[in-house]
Amino acid sequence: MAQATVARSTEASKTVQYSRAFAGLFLRDLHVLRRELFPFVIRVCMNPLLFLFVFTYVIPHISSGASMNPTAAMAGNAFSTVLLPGLMAVAIMFSGIAAVALPLAQEFGVTREIDDRVMCPLPVPAVAVEKICFSAVQSMMAAVIVFPLAYYVPAVHPTTHVSSWPFLLLVVVLASLTAGALGLTIGTSVKPQQIGLIFGVVVIPITFLGCVYYPWAALTHIRWLQVGVLLNPIVYMSEGLRAALTPTLPHMHPLLIIAMLVVALCLLTWLGIRGFLRRVIG
């Protein structure tokens, strides 16, 4: 009985110690982000702002928006309605990847800064999980920043209607965590000097094939592509935000979206932690 009590007390002590160490790492990263908040906002805003300005403001003023954007017909010729969920998904994905993969490229570099981080009183996998959680915070911030841009910049405001706030929040959280897990997987799978190449040959292609600029249902006439993109996690981010913000557009079933985001999160987290352990310990 006494041994069981001691064991429970030891476990409780370890839990408190791990929680404090996890919170310490998180607050440290938050402090760094606060100091670099302006560059973060600029990085998040620039790409969607330019895309919105050209495709939803300039083009509608010089030509017929529907002729330039065939999928706009699905939203009453308002391409901004199609685009808003997709741009939020891109902001989540790029922020999540950049928040993990780019710092890892530096930490796994010649200076081996990662060794200082893993010396904290935490299991090594928990250090990797902290990176995913912190990147998720940045991804959610990116989604909040992009939403007003995608709503107010277009010449025709998108038509939005949130019928279920819990579903919207669940999609944003799962998408943000998945983006961070993908960033961890990328950051631990390639050499630091090749991280820029990965953005060109992996991140950008999966973005353009992630149903960002068109609903998944619009690919009906290209059946092989419609089936192939189902392996892309950005598809479920875009479709989930589309189902939550613009439910009048065709979209996947909400339960399928949530299930696939959970599967992607679990698989990428497992791959990322395994790669992290290999790079740190091996």
Predicted local distance difference test score (pLDDT) of residue 2: 56
Give residue 65's pLDDT: 44
Each residue's pLDDT tens digit, 4-20? 565 566 666 777 777 88
Please give the biggest Cα pair distance in the chain: 81
DSSP secondary structure string for all residues of 217-260: GGGTTSHHHHHHGGG-HHHHHHHHHHHHH-TTS----HHHHHHH
Residue whose C-alpha is closest to residue 77's, from 161, 153, 155:
155
Average pLDDT over residues 248-258: 91
- Predicted TM-score (pTM) of the model is 0.85
- The whole-angstrom separation of Cα 220 and Cα 172 is 26
Q: Which of 77-81, 120-124, 150-154 has the lowest mean pLDDT?
A: 77-81
Lowest-confidence segment of 34-38, 92-96, 132-136, 186-190 by average pLDDT: 34-38
pLDDT at 67 exceeding the cut of 50: no
